[in-house]
Structure 1
Amino acid sequence: MGTQSYKNYIRYYPPHHFVYYPVIMAFLAFSIYFSFTNEDSLIWGFISVVFVVLLCLAFMLRQHYALTLQNRIVRSELRYRYFFITGKRLEDFEHQLNDDQLFALRFAPDNELPELTQRALKENLSGKAIKKAIVNWKGDYDRV
């Protein structure tokens, strides 16, 4: 993997994104087609609904569990890094930052983190604005 930046930080899991979803989508398309062209349209309609439910459940569950855990880890890491760098507790004012801001700050290197944190608090920067303000992007290569 090359150097991570704002333009390339999104990560794909090929078996899931490029195999499972296309196969489910193909089965869904065929079942919808058969529900309109086959004599057993009620059965094929039911099969189509099952594929829609499978598609939605797979997406929601895959993301939900992994992201919930990742969010806890990112918060803990950010608290530790902020304390290590500044000697002050992030928890004292963390409630003033929303999740989007906190999660964007994880990409800031140690020398930019305190200043960006203060800017986020004072200027209410969005997560996207924080990411764009980072000069030397600190890659997060182990995220989900």
Structure 2
Amino acid sequence: MTNSVIESGRESRPALHDESVDVGTVVGELLDHLHGGLDGASADTYDDMFADDILWGTPKGRVLKGFAPLNAIHRQMVPAKVAPESRFEAAQAIAPAPGVVVAQVGRHAIDGGFSEMAMYVLVERAGRWWVAGAQNTPIVDTLPTR
């Protein structure tokens, strides 16, 4: 684990990333599920890594807790192709604690439609990685005005 401390003004801040965790493999597995679920129009594939008590934030700022209600929504949205054909790509990821990975993942629409950036929190339990929480944010060039 990296235990370096970065001097920032008057404060010392730890660098939390644990370099012994292969975040690329963990995030790659997540990307495979997300991409495979959208390409195959399967909410169950898309949601396969989601924990039973997942916390979810939508691009419209709504929040939801629990696999069952989220999967029910995804079972309607994924086959209806609400999200356009997309490319998923990891933007960055860290492992701030043993068995925890935080990743920022972009979903980029291929032929128009909306794109979004999501932050995923993954937790390892008994050798398997689970998404504990996610927050989706639309990718836009400008913010709304008042």
Structure of greater Rg: 1
Higher relative contact order (CA 8 A, sep 6+): 1
Bigger fraction of residues in helix: 1
